[in-house]
Amino acid sequence: MNFKKPLLAVAVTTALLSACAEQKLTQSNAESQIAEAKSNISNEAIVKASEKANKLFDAIFMENINRSPMMQTYLGMKTDYDKWGEFTEENTLKELAHSKADLLRVKAIDTSLLDAQTKISHRLLVQRLENEISDHKWRFHSYPVNQMRGLHAQVPAFLINNHSIGSVKEANDYIARVHGTKKLMGQVIDQLKMREDKGIIAPKFVFNHVIRDSKNILMGAPFGKGDNSTLLADFEGKVNKLEITDKERATLISDLKKALVTSLKPGYDALIAYVTDLQKKADTRDGVWKMPEGDKFFTNALKRTTTTDLTSQEIHDLGLSEVARIHNEMRLIMKKVGFKGDLNEFFNFMRDDEQFYYPTDAAGKERYIKEAVALIDDMESRLDTLFLTKPKAKLKVKAVEAFREKSAGKAFYQQPAPDGSRPGTYYANLYDMKAMPIYQMAALAYHEGIPGHHMQIAIKQELEGIPMFRKFGGYTAHTEGWGLYSEMIPKEIGLYQDPYSDFGRLAMELWRACRLVVDTGIHTKKWTREQGIEYYTSNTPNAKSDAVKMVERHIVMPSQATAYKIGMLKIIELREKARTELGDKFDIREFHDVVLKNGPVPLNVLTEFVNIHIKSKQA
């Protein structure tokens, strides 16, 4: 029990009464000053308690970061720059213990003394820690290596894109990390073995992707003849920029080659051998329903992804409804451009006509990147009409690297380093130009770049007054809901004037609506991979290669793809509520600040923020 506050209040009250008597103040004036003193004490206590709570939140965040060398590097820190971290069951149990201890520390806070924003932070951190503890049960319900993610692909991408080299020490740290990959791949194999023992094995198609991507890392010098391998080329390019002697440079490159041959290659060879053998035990069942308690796992996954209590069936039905609505909007565009035929014939036209695609050669790919940059630059020049807050971090557009382009998604975003040393990056996958139609270019650039993920993620990292776990954490429904919403915003300020480009916007939204249908179809209705692919190709204009990648993504990342449409629909719902209730007082820029300036939050918390905004404007 806290005795300090009431004792202090009594002391101040007594002093004031004494002063009042000496100065012959009226009783009403005395009472007014007493109330003011109590109010000041209360405000001071709230400020101090909130500062203390936020320091604890940041301490917990940094304790987690300090146990993760890779996260340190992602955040632009160069501590533990020669390490990877531990990916073992023993370490998982240690992290569980940390989460339980952290939860006790956070729950010990007296929330009655916190300001409104700190109360939200407390609530979010308690929820996050409770979820981590609860989800420990499902830690084996995943495929540690697959075509979307896994350390086999993360290692080279991480070294190339995140491990900068500005000194000989940092070059040696890079070499040390390459040496560490042998142990790392051994830990990946152990994780696969634990899942194998529980009957959790990825479907057969996954293994070809993993084997191919792993073998790609071992192509070229020093593993064999030909051009430098991906990592050797990266290392040489970085080391050649150092102001060191030729002898020092040659020593570093020689040491890196040795590390590649004696550590990285044996590690990847062991992984390839194990995965090749594991593939023989795999089957073609695609949904998580095949896992132990798979139905309960998927229900939990949907809750985490959407931050709602929507059931799989409700999400499936919502998807069907949205597909029908968007199809009707597309028919209007079909009539506008004078196309004769039905919607599926129009899809075929948009899918196959050469006018909608750039060539697959280097010039075509260069043109795509150049025009994507121009679209983003144009949108950036219009931001004042939509936003009060804009990010400081820069954005660059880059093609996905060759070593992972065959497996990677068609587009994605990498956040900037908080210290400004690395810009945000919009990656466009140009491996298959037929999967990157010109008419979808604008919507894709707006989603991944501006006003989409770059604005959202850079702004949250640059926020002041909220704890770091909110700056660097995320909720998929909020994050991807904003990304999809951002595809729509430009239309409201006069962009997408070309009907084909507007069709592309609708095609992107349609794609996300289909995700609701197919994700739930695979994981609860026991749809096969082929059924999922057929649904996409029958209901969208996207290339079949798009459909294949998307369905395979659903299979290895259950529930993840449902976040986009669920989040977008909630943001639109809240915006229209604010517009209706505020009338002339509604300002789209202020609404966007409400969505972005609190960082990512669950959708129910976003609803609370919008309601507070409405009441404050009505006051």
If asked whether residues 404 and 524 sit together in one domain, one would say: yes
Quick check: 17 pLDDT over 50?
no
Residue 254 counted as domain residue: yes
Q: Residue 578: is its pLDDT beyond 50?
A: yes
Please give the pLDDT value at position 405: 86
- Cβ-proximal residues to 222 (8 Å cutoff; 6+ apart), any chain: 229, 232, 257, 260, 261
Whether 108 shows a pLDDT value over 80: the answer reads yes
The pLDDT score that the predictor gives to residue 305 is 97
Taking a C-beta distance cutoff of 8 angstroms, is the pair 239, 319 a contact? no
Q: To the nearest whole number, what is the mean pLDDT of the chain?
A: 92
Taking residues 301-315, report their average pLDDT. 97
* Bridge partners (DSSP) listed for residue 413: 426
| pLDDT for 4 | 34
Does 174 share its domain with 250? yes
* Token pair 């956070």 in the structure block, residue: 106
Q: What is the pLDDT of residue 26?
A: 45
Instruction: Give the mean pLDDT of 14-30.
Output: 41
Q: Is the pLDDT of residue 518 over 50?
A: yes
Q: Are residues 278 and 311 in the same domain?
A: no
Domain assignment of residue 608, yes or no: no
Return d(Cα 273, Cα 278) in angstroms, integer. Answer: 9
Residue 591 lies in a domain: no
pLDDT-based confidence at 29, cuts 50/70/90? low
Whether the per-residue pLDDT at 303 is higher than 80: the answer is yes
Mean pLDDT of 117-122: 95
pLDDT at 476: 94
The model's pLDDT over 446-478, given as tens digits with 9 standing for 90+, comes to: 999 999 999 999 999 998 889 999 988 899 999
Within a domain: residue 206?
yes
For residue 20, what pLDDT is reported? 39
In sequence order, the 6+-apart residues with CB closer than 8 A to the CB of 358 are 364, 365, 367, 368, 433, 436, 438
Instruction: Find all residues with CB under 8 Å of 13, minimum gap 6, and list them.
Output: 34, 37, 38
Looking at the chain, the whole-number percentage of residues with pLDDT higher than 70 is: 93
Given a cut of 70, whether residue 587 has pLDDT beyond it is: yes
Asked if pLDDT for residue 23 goes beyond 50, the answer is no
The answer to whether residues 509 and 365 belong to one domain is: yes
Residues 267 and 312 grouped into a single domain: no
What confidence tens digit (pLDDT) does each residue in 221-275 have? 999 999 999 999 999 999 999 999 999 999 999 999 999 999 999 999 999 999 9
- Among residues 249, 284, 319, which one ends one of the domains? 284
Q: Is 528 part of a structural domain of the chain?
A: yes
Same domain, 196 and 54: no
Q: By residue range, what is the domain housing residue 67?
A: 4-138
What value does the mean pLDDT take over residues 324-328?
98
- Indicate whether 27 pLDDT > 70: no
Tell me which DSSP letter residue 250 carries: H
Domain membership flag for residue 315: yes
Give the separation between CA 603 and CA 480, rounded to whole angstroms: 12
Instruction: Give the pLDDT score at 31.
Output: 54
Residues 313, 270 within the same domain: no
The mean pLDDT of 572-583, rounded to a whole number, is 98
Q: Residue 373 pLDDT more than 60?
A: yes
Counting Cα atoms < 13 Å in the Cβ hemisphere of 318 gives: 21
Output the pLDDT for position 188.
98
In a domain, 173, yes or no: yes
For residue 554, give the nearest of 193, 211, 203 by alpha carbon: 203
User: Looking at residue 33, what is its pLDDT?
Assistant: 54
Give the pLDDT mean for 279-303: 98
Is the domain of 344 the same as that of 390?
Answer: yes
- State whether the Cα torsion 533-537-541-544 is positive or negative: positive
Question: What average pLDDT does the segment 502-511 reach?
Answer: 96
Does the pLDDT at position 105 exceed 90? yes
Note the pLDDT of residue 579: 98
Instruction: Give the chain's domain count.
Output: 3
Last residue of a domain, one of 90, 114, 138: 138
Domain presence at residue 291:
no
Does the pLDDT at position 19 exceed 80?
Answer: no
pLDDT score of 619:
86
User: 565 and 520 in one domain?
Assistant: yes
Q: What is the mean pLDDT of residues 153-162?
A: 95
**In one letter, which amino acid is 525?**
K
- Pair (417, 448) in one structural domain: yes
CA 286 – CA 79 distance, rounded (Å): 41
User: What integer pLDDT is reported at residue 545 of this predicted model?
Assistant: 86
What are 555-567's pLDDT values in tens digits? 999 999 999 999 9
Q: State whether 131 and 250 are in the same domain.
A: no
Q: 522 and 447, same structural domain?
A: yes
The per-residue pLDDT for 430 is: 95
Q: pLDDT confidence of 25, banded at 50, 70, 90?
A: very low
Using 50, 70 and 90 to split pLDDT, how confident is the model at 421?
A: confident
pLDDT band at 130 (very low <50, low <70, confident <90, very high): very high
Look at residue 2 and tell me whether its pLDDT is greater than 50: no
Q: Is the pLDDT assigned to residue 36 strictly greater than 80?
A: no
What is the pLDDT confidence band of residue 5, given thresholds at 50, 70 and 90? very low
pLDDT at 42: 80
CA distance 360 to 351: 15
**Rounded average pLDDT over 176-188:** 98
Domain-terminating residue out of 91, 111, 138: 138
